[in-house]
Chains A and B, each alone.
Chain A
Amino acid sequence: MELRGAAIIVTGASRGLGAALAEGLGRAGARLVLISRDREALEAVVEKVRAQGGEAHPIVADVGARESASRVAGATGALVGPVEVVIHNAGTLGPVPLAPLADTSDEDFEQALATNLVGPFRLTRALVGSMALRGRGTVVLVSSDAATTPYPRWGAYGVSKAALEHLGRIWNTELSDTGIRFLIVDPGEMDTRMHREAVPEADPATLLPPEQAAARVVQLLREAP
């Protein structure tokens, strides 16, 4: 697909893979709306994108909050027009150090599902009707191998990612004749703050820089029809 001029939403864009995606897509000429709860960090990413000649607009929002989907969809439509790509990158592990399921509170489990699963469901639902009417659109779900491997202590996160992947498969089946594509991306273990918090003993030299993972996603989008 042609990324120049494409209206793209990236959630969780204030750091890690989201920030790297914003920079990569900004350089490719996309018109970006970047979402994060962290205003200061988000505005720093926006400035970086703009400094490289890209277009980016910040929206401070918690993707897990009930009204965020209609807020983000509406403001994005006003700022950059009909959305062509949404990248559901925002994710939470819950409190660290990670705890076994038996020691996970209701609130922490529900928060992981709200951010990693229900938020992407609501935002996708707010966007796919317009995409279907235009006959094109791409929804990227950033997942993890925790979706398929039952790592101890990664319970809430793993469950949310497994459900997110299945959500993508069902969307894909239900909307198969609309021109909308659903891509599930597992970027692998990256050298990000999230990974350092989850696995503090990991050797950063063995981890993928998020910029490299972002470059692969940008390439994937470019190569898509």
Chain B
Amino acid sequence: MKHALEDVPARVSKQPGRLLHVDPQRAMLTDRGMDALPELLRPGDLLVLNDAATLPASLVGTARGEPIEVRLAGEEPDGTWRAVVFGAGDWRTPTESRPPPPALAPGDSLRLGPGLHAQVTARSDVSTRLLWIRFAGSAERFWSALYLHGRPVQYAYEPSPLPLHRVQTAYASRPWASEMPSAGRPLTLELLGRLRARGVDLARLTHAAGLSSTGDPALDAALPLPERYEIPAATVRAVADTRRRGGRVVAVGTTVVRALEGAALSGGGDLGPGPGLTDLRITRGFEPRLVKGLLSGIHARDSSHFELLSAFLPGPLELLYTMHATAGRYRGHEFGDSTLVLG
């Protein structure tokens, strides 16, 4: 049966969204608005945000004489890009209905707009849609051309294309994210100011949020792919200070959970500063070491985001959450409502 959450996509809206507060300690679910967020947190809590800006990651062009769309799925340390490639068509067709690209192999050229020529350097064993490509030319020419010709990844449920500025959080900085780290979208500067005034500390990290779907079931099953992150020393100190004084570390978005918990795991339990790469998959039963609460979107049961959310929803809460969100017609997708799991 198709899940009801998927039937209630949100349209881009300036209205403050709804907030489903789940208190796992008391097994309570409460309908709130995002405006209530400051009163659901306590002085001394720490909210950690992902400040990655959203890339204009979608490029239209040709390869082997056929039309393609390339979606950039993360830059590698050697300067190549991981890329998911689609065949003919555009974003109006859901990814699962998009045809595959022509068979591409290392050495093939991709023409993706003026000044945006790339060459395939490697191909994934998981899916013919997943390639590694290298762009020709200097970094500044690449970035200038990407921002001229690239568009943000679009969503088939939206009636018209989204411009780049509509898929940024209020505090976006370096463009690392293939798609918007959407849990932070409802956080306006005014709301962040109210949180500070309440005594809630704010900290940031940068995590390269990846693509949400690729149209290839085998590749979708492998999501999220390994993603890079960078954690400032100030955030490491803020997490330690918060835990020392008994405050709660609350992640804004599943990417923040992956970065913090992935970094802690790779550090043998200790969180250290700096860049890293995480392939951590957080699912039901995972016990977070650092993160006590999560602000996220409303997620359907078959998504990787829901898997991660379920790590914060013990016992019957997972089912209660889905029933409550469905009955309450909470809006899913990137521009939908929010969930706060915190007790």
Question: Beta-carbon contacts of A54-84 to B below 8 Å, as 1s and 0s?
Answer: 0001111000000101110111011101110
A126: CB under 8 A from chain B? yes
A78-105 at interface with B (beta carbon < 8 Å): 78-79, 81-83
Q: Is the CB of A132 within 8 A of B164?
A: no
B189: CB under 8 A from chain A? yes
Q: How far is the CA of A96 from the CA of B24 in the complex (A)?
A: 68
Q: Is the CB of A74 within 8 A of B49?
A: no
Q: Is the CB of A74 within 8 A of B140?
A: no
Indicate which residue in A79, A126, A128 contacts B143 across the interface (CB closer than 8 Å): A79
Smallest CB-CB A-B distances: 6 pairs? A129-B171, A130-B173, A129-B170, A77-B174, A71-B147, A70-B165
Q: Is the CB of B143 within 8 A of A78?
A: yes
A224: CB under 8 A from chain B? no
Q: Is the CB of A133 within 8 A of B143?
A: no
Indicate which residue in B53, B139, B148, B204 contacts A79 across the interface (CB closer than 8 Å): B139
Binding site for B on A (CB under 8 A): 57-60, 67, 69-71, 73-75, 77-79, 81-83, 126, 128-130, 132-134, 175, 177-178
Q: Is the CB of B169 within 8 A of A126?
A: no
Binding site for A on B (CB under 8 A): 49, 51, 53, 55-56, 139-140, 143-144, 146-148, 163-165, 168-175, 189, 192-193, 196, 202, 204
**Which chain B positions have C-beta within 8 A of A82?**
51, 173-174
**Which chain A positions have C-beta within 8 A of B193?**
177-178
Q: How far is the CB of A14 from chain B (nearest CB, A)?
A: 15
Q: How far is the CA of A134 from the CA of B173 in the complex (A)?
A: 10
CB-based nearest B residue for A175:
B189
Q: How far is the CB of B149 from chain A (nearest CB, A)?
A: 11
Q: Is the CB of B144 within 8 A of A75?
A: yes
Indicate which residue in B140, B170, B189, B204 contacts A134 across the interface (CB closer than 8 Å): B204
Q: How far is the CB of A101 from chain B (nearest CB, A)?
A: 32
Q: How far is the CB of A123 from chain B (nearest CB, A)?
A: 11
